[in-house]
Chains A and B, each alone.
Chain A
Amino acid sequence: MTRTREWLYAWLLLAPAMILLVLFTHYPAVANLWHSFLSTPKGNRPAVWVGADNYAQLVEDPIFWQALTNNFWYALGTIPVSIALALLMAVWVHGKVPGRGLLRLAYFTPTVLPMIAVANIWMFFYTPEYGLLEQLTKGMGFASHNWLGSKSTALVALMAVTIWKEAGFFMIFYLAALQSMSPSLAEAAAIEGASRWYYFRRVTFPLLMPVTLFVLVNAVINAFRLVDHIVVMTRGGPDNATALLLYYVYEIGFRFWDSAYAAALTMVLLAILGLTALFQFFVLGRRTHYQ
């Protein structure tokens, strides 16, 4: 093939995927920026340029700040715990634990369930008076508590659900890495007399670093992307205690139909995801991924 024919060929191969990508990823991201500077069209009043008005509204909106703070705590509360649990699970099912297959199944099953089914199951688990959790705590003599209904515990209760669903998923990546690790490393360390903990701390854990970073980036994205359980379990309540950013976008955009303000809120979300991308690109580097 001549060079130009090869170019043409490649572009044609790419065209269908690129067109759809532009239409549903790049265009909406740019259009979203544009629409965040316009007003929401109402009735026969078309959208007009309002400059930074939507952003001014955002800065003064206490619910936005609360959603952002909630999301921050939610990320901070779910990510380290699920990663630590995932690592622990992986080490266990990689070793010679009796019933390893069953354990692996137990840890991984929540991952294949839809978040919405998970949310329903846990909602029942948390039900005041009747739920299993209440029955356990009552059995131990604690007072009845509405886990999802009180401001102080609702977000933590949701975090537990997320950790339950995600830890097994992250475990898989650690497990894959552990299985590809050469056993001669451990043998060499043992000859040198390194203790088990020392070996884990100085050899295994550092070698798993690329996996940890990969999982970390995924967990951050998920913390801002997945709000299915909020819709089912709390609808952002009580008193916005569990409103996450994307849930707030959904509420403003599709319950109050204020698309301009929703666009401004989405920009914040895109900025956070963009920062995560930069982190991945510069901190993780091209070395570990994208080769």
Chain B
Amino acid sequence: MNTATHVYDARGMARVLETAAAWLLGFLWVLPLLYAFWTAFHPAEFSTRLALAAPLTLDNFAKAWNAAPFARYFLNTVILCAMVLAAQLVLVTLAAYAFARFEFPGRNVLFALVLVQLMIMPDVLIVENYRTMTWLGIKDTILAIGLPYMASAFGIFLLRQTFKTIPRELDEAARVEGCTPLQVLWKVYVPLARPTYLAYALVSVSYHWNNFLWPLIITNSVESRPVTVGLQVFASTDQGIDWSIITAATLLTTAPLLVAFLLFQRQFVASFMRAGIR
């Protein structure tokens, strides 16, 4: 990070005011989260009463965990994220390689067709994709949740950019050594694109961990529901609206991602930056 003094950093009174404003906004930004934490870690009678003496408890988490098959939901989400990511990495790598380093008729048209998905995402094609899944007979499976996302235009685009920055000389040297194009891809391009892969993986996993509408539509059983849908089913069935438990369940489903984010904050932020700069 750049920590050098900037000529136009705020000074004097302006600096005090800006710092105050920045912190006020920061406080506003964490307030809903802090409130959720408060509610989840205290007995229900303190959920709306902010008393310092309120006892801490993990009961809400225990109750939430026992009230719905969250373990299964977590497993489903992990399988979903792993499956989608694995498929994406393979498909995206091959396609990006073709676009970056091969000359062939139809290249521009095909690339334009790929870019269409940046605008028209599977997220809005729910009616037709539901029809397709029904026709394929894989409704209510984890595969059906992930399938529309496996060929990712975003990934192809991102990786093609990275591949194009790799000097052709490396490529040609490897070919002179007798490598086939696939070996060149595996030995030259993939290792050099590692930061892009990391960035893409983080973005992909957090996208599919968080995805909700399509999984809600296509799944209908405990065996296939990811945590987001599981949480919604749990919170909307009549729990007598016990906010302490619902909030605990919410934090529970978010915890793995949130912990990962706090641990790998730098990588996350850098990844999102890298993914955004095209």
Contact = CB atoms under 8 A, between A and B. Distances in A.
Nearest to B155: A17
A27 B26 CA distance: 45
Given A14-B98, A106-B29, A172-B273, A95 B278 contact: no
Contact of B212 (A85, A175, A231): A231
B55 interface: no
Nearest to B125: A28
Interface in A1-59: 1, 6-7, 9-11, 13-14, 16-21, 23-29, 31-32, 35
Contacts of B258: 109, 112-113
Given A6-B102, A127-B243, A273-B119, A17 B151 contact: yes
Given A7-B105, A11-B104, A132-B31, A103 B232 contact: no
B91 A17 contact: yes
A10 B26 contact: no
Contacts of B23: 99, 103
A14 B228 CA distance: 33
Contacts of B183: none
Contacts of B169: none
Interface string B1-45: 111111111100010001101110111011111011001000000
B147 to A, nearest CB: 7
B128 A96 contact: no
Interface string B79-122: 00000000000111011011100111101001001111111111
Contacts of A95: 6, 9-10, 18
A32 to B, nearest CB: 5
Given A120-B247, A246-B124, A17 B29 contact: no
Nearest to B107: A10
> Main secondary structure on chain B at its contact with chain A?
helix
Contacts of B29: 106-107, 109-110, 164, 168
A32 B126 CA distance: 10
B261 A109 contact: yes
A74 interface: no
B112 to A, nearest CB: 9
Given A11-B104, A270-B120, A24 B147 contact: yes
A183 interface: yes
A108 interface: yes
B122 to A, nearest CB: 6
A130 B39 CA distance: 12
> Main secondary structure on chain A at its contact with chain B?
helix
B62 interface: no
Nearest to A261: B127
A16 B151 CA distance: 8
A265 to B, nearest CB: 9
B93 to A, nearest CB: 9
A277 interface: yes
Contacts of B27: 106
How many interface residues does chain A have, given as a range? Answer: 35 or more
Residue of A16, A125, A168, A214 ringed by the most chain B CB atoms within 10 A: A16
Interface string A198-237: 0110000000000000100000010011111001100000
Contacts of B137: none
A10 B104 contact: yes
A98 interface: yes
Contact of B232 (A29, A116, A246): A116
Contacts of B22: 89, 92-93, 97, 103
Interface in B119-141: 119-132
Contacts of B127: 32, 35, 249, 253, 259, 262-263, 266
Contacts, number: 290
B239 interface: no
B26 A228 contact: no
A10 B122 CA distance: 26
B156 interface: yes
B151 A20 contact: yes
Interface of A: 1, 6-7, 9-11, 13-14, 16-21, 23-29, 31-32, 35, 85, 88-89, 92-99, 102-117, 120-122, 124-125, 127, 130-132, 135, 164, 168-169, 172-173, 175-177, 179, 183, 186-187, 189-190, 196, 199-200, 214, 221, 224-228, 231-232, 246, 249-250, 253-254, 259, 262-263, 266, 269-270, 273-274, 276-277, 280, 289-291
Given A10-B107, A116-B231, A179-B2, 8 more contacts: A95-B10, A104-B269, A106-B26, A113-B254, A114-B228, A176-B273, A253-B126, A274-B120
Q: Give the 3 A-B residue pairs with the shortest CB-CB distance, closest first.
A: A28-B128, A114-B210, A20-B151
29 contacts: A1-B181, A11-B98, A14-B99, A16-B95, A20-B150, A25-B151, A28-B128, A31-B131, A95-B18, A106-B26, A108-B269, A114-B254, A117-B231, A117-B253, A121-B36, A168-B29, A176-B276, A190-B7, A196-B8, A221-B119, A224-B124, A228-B213, A246-B123, A263-B128, A277-B118, A277-B119, A280-B119, A289-B278, A290-B278
